[in-house]
Amino acid sequence: MCESEAGRAALRALDPQVAEAVAAEARRQQQHLGLIASENHCGAAIREATGSVLTDKYAEGYPDERYYGGCEVVDVVERLAAQRARQLFDAEHANVQPHAGSQANMAVYIAMLRPGAKVLGMSLAHGGHLTHGHSRNFSGQIYEVVSYGIEQGTGLIDYDQVHRMALQQNPALIIAGASSYSRTIDFEAFNDIAQEVGAYLMADIAHIAGLVAAGVHPSPLPHADFVTGTTHKTLRGPRGAFVLCRQEFAGRIDSAVMPGVQGGPFMHAIAAKAVAFGQAMRPEFKQYQQQVVATSRAMARVMIERGLPVVSGGTDTHMFLVDLTGNGMSGREALHLLAAANITVNKNTIPNDPRKPTETSGIRIGTPAITTRGLREEECRKIAHWIADILTARDPEEEAGALRPRVLEMCEAHPIPD
């Protein structure tokens, strides 16, 4: 019996309720087509590292500067993860300790800004992230935030607006990045604006880190002073995050991460990050990212052909937003209807959304997870047609029930790989 099998047996014996929940989630993932843009399926090697004995080790501090003894092995692990991150993204410095993207972003704020400093970030309503200045997030509560958005007609970032606002507001930090923007981000243009007004530039590549690593999306390096990202979306690693920066800011970033926003790092997660960074350097990873974009574009084109508008008219990345205002359906309703067919999406606001965030007028569709399962353009076009069939049917519930067996058949034909 291998260690993972022994672990499962031990969990069943000690806590059968939790064991059954874990098994049920494995079944759910296998029997559903996951189209959530921020989710993926990591491989057995990454899961093994994540569940390893490294979870037992406390290691506050950094390699050779720990507050605990017995860190000689985890020092090797963290150095390896940081070295691979620097190499992968061609960065001068990498901090691989952040537990999540929000904490990575918070570390940059704390390192470089005083409370009340002005920040220019993308509006959450137009595709930004909570940490880019939402009023209920730390970023909007501690700092003075002004927000740019996208052009109403094109659905694209209005760089002229960003320039005008930067000149008018004189921010200390400009954020380039998004959580639901499907087009290529011009990091060089953001850098030009930041340079002109004397602001720091932070690129948040949480969603597109894998695309950037593979050269499928332009890199924010060397344009940005700081780059934050997550390891579990397109990068296909464990849940976690990282911060990249110029060497001149390394000490301030490290101090902001620990003790600024975190204490002991999760060494098991850092080991898994090292594995993910290593995998991302392989030629097949670039092929995978190219396929992620190809499947995303194939699905977006079907949506448009079927009369379901896509914000910005298409996609250059792993995701896109479907505008449901034309058929009067809310994103929340669409989510539940698609779930009945074993298709998993998330509801999402669209620019200038008339509905409240708990309802939304759109859904977000992403292809990292289904591409990991081996689905290609032909299968993804079929899935897109199924989605359109449900969302435009006279009786959507009946249509969802009728399509569910076909979804299950596709899931069975494309199991989640190890």
Catalytic status, residue 379 = no
Is residue 329 assigned to a domain? yes
What is the domain extent for residue 113? Answer: 53-280
Task: Look at the block and give the residue holding tokens 């299968």.
Answer: 379
Catalytic status, residue 181 = no
- Residue 1 is predicted with a pLDDT of 34
Can you tell me the distance from the alpha carbon of 120 to that of 146, in angstroms, rounded to the nearest whole number?
5
Catalytic residue among 48, 60, 144, 359: 60
User: How many residues are given for the chain?
Assistant: 418
Question: Residues 92, 164: one domain?
Answer: yes
Question: Residues 131, 211: one domain?
Answer: yes
Is residue 13 assigned to a domain? no
Catalytic residue among 78, 204, 316, 353: 204
Question: Residues 68, 142: one domain?
Answer: yes
- Residue 3 is predicted with a pLDDT of 54
- Residue 292 is predicted with a pLDDT of 98
Can you tell me the distance from the alpha carbon of 42 to that of 48, in angstroms, rounded to the nearest whole number?
10
The dihedral built from the CA positions of residue 42, 290, 368 and 235, taken in this order, carries a sign that is positive
CATH number (domain holding residue 211): 3.40.640.10
Angle, helix 377-392 to helix 396-413, in steps of 10 degrees:
160
Per-residue pLDDT reduced to its tens digit, 270-299: 999 999 999 999 999 999 999 999 999 999
Q: Calculate Rg over the CA atoms of the chain.
A: 22
Per-residue pLDDT reduced to its tens digit, 307-354: 999 999 999 999 999 999 998 899 999 999 999 999 999 999 999 899
Catalytic residue among 58, 75, 86, 246: 58
Residue type, 205: I
**Domain final position from 215, 245, 280:** 280
Catalytic status, residue 395 = no
Question: Residues 200, 316: one domain?
Answer: no
Task: Look at the block and give the residue holding tokens 């509801």.
Answer: 347
Can you tell me the distance from the alpha carbon of 99 to that of 80, in angstroms, rounded to the nearest whole number?
17
**Domain final position from 247, 280, 313:** 280
Spell out the SS3 assignment of the chain. CCHHHHHHHHHHHHCHHHHHHHHHHHHHHHHCEECCCCCCCCCHHHHHHHCCHHHHCCCCEECCEECCCCCHHHHHHHHHHHHHHHHHHCCCEEECCCCCHHHHHHHHHHHHCCCCCEEEEECHHHCCCHHHCCCCCHHHHHCEEEEECECCCCCCECHHHHHHHHHHHCCCEEEEECCCCCCCCCHHHHHHHHHHHCCEEEEECCCCHHHHHCCCCCCCCCCCCEEEEECCCCCCCCCCEEEEECHHHHHHHHHHHHHHHCCCCCHHHHHHHHHHHHHHCCHHHHHHHHHHHHHHHHHHHHHHHCCCCEHHHCCCCCEEEEECHHHCCCHHHHHHHHHCCCEECEEECCCCCCCCCCCCCEEEEECHHHHHCCCCHHHHHHHHHHHHHHHHCCCHHHHHHHHHHHHHHHHHHCCCCC
User: Phi/psi of residue 83, each to 5°?
Assistant: -65, -40
**Domain final position from 245, 280, 315:** 280
Question: Residues 61, 209: one domain?
Answer: yes
- Residue 157 is predicted with a pLDDT of 95
Question: Residues 293, 275: one domain?
Answer: no
Alpha carbon separation from 271 to 79, 82, 248, 250, 418 (Å, rounded): 10, 10, 26, 21, 18
Question: Residues 386, 273: one domain?
Answer: no
Is residue 1 assigned to a domain? no
Catalytic residue among 230, 315, 317, 367: 230
Task: Look at the block and give the residue holding tokens 């992620």.
Answer: 292
- Residue 7 is predicted with a pLDDT of 85
Residue type, 359: E
Catalytic status, residue 204 = yes
Catalytic residue among 233, 236, 297, 373: 233
**Measured distance between the N- and C-terminal CA atoms of the chain, rounded to whole angstroms:** 17
Catalytic residue among 86, 118, 239, 381: 239
Question: Residues 218, 330: one domain?
Answer: no
The dihedral built from the CA positions of residue 241, 246, 251 and 256, taken in this order, carries a sign that is negative
Can you tell me the distance from the alpha carbon of 267 to that of 87, in angstroms, rounded to the nearest whole number?
20
Q: Residue 281, by phi and psi: left (phi above 0), alpha (psi -120 to 50) or beta?
A: alpha
Catalytic status, residue 239 = yes
Q: Give the count of domains, the chain.
A: 2
Catalytic status, residue 286 = no
Alpha carbon separation from 94 to 103, 109, 214, 224 (Å, rounded): 15, 16, 18, 14
pLDDT < 70: residue spans in the chain? 1-3
CATH number (domain holding residue 379): 3.90.1150.10
Can you tell me the distance from the alpha carbon of 386 to that of 402, in angstroms, rounded to the nearest whole number?
10
Question: Residues 230, 83: one domain?
Answer: yes
- Residue 2 is predicted with a pLDDT of 44
Name which of 178, 219, 186 is nearest 88 in CA terms: 219
Can you tell me the distance from the alpha carbon of 146 to that of 379, in angstroms, rounded to the nearest whole number?
42
Can you tell me the distance from the alpha carbon of 23 to that of 219, in angstroms, rounded to the nearest whole number?
39
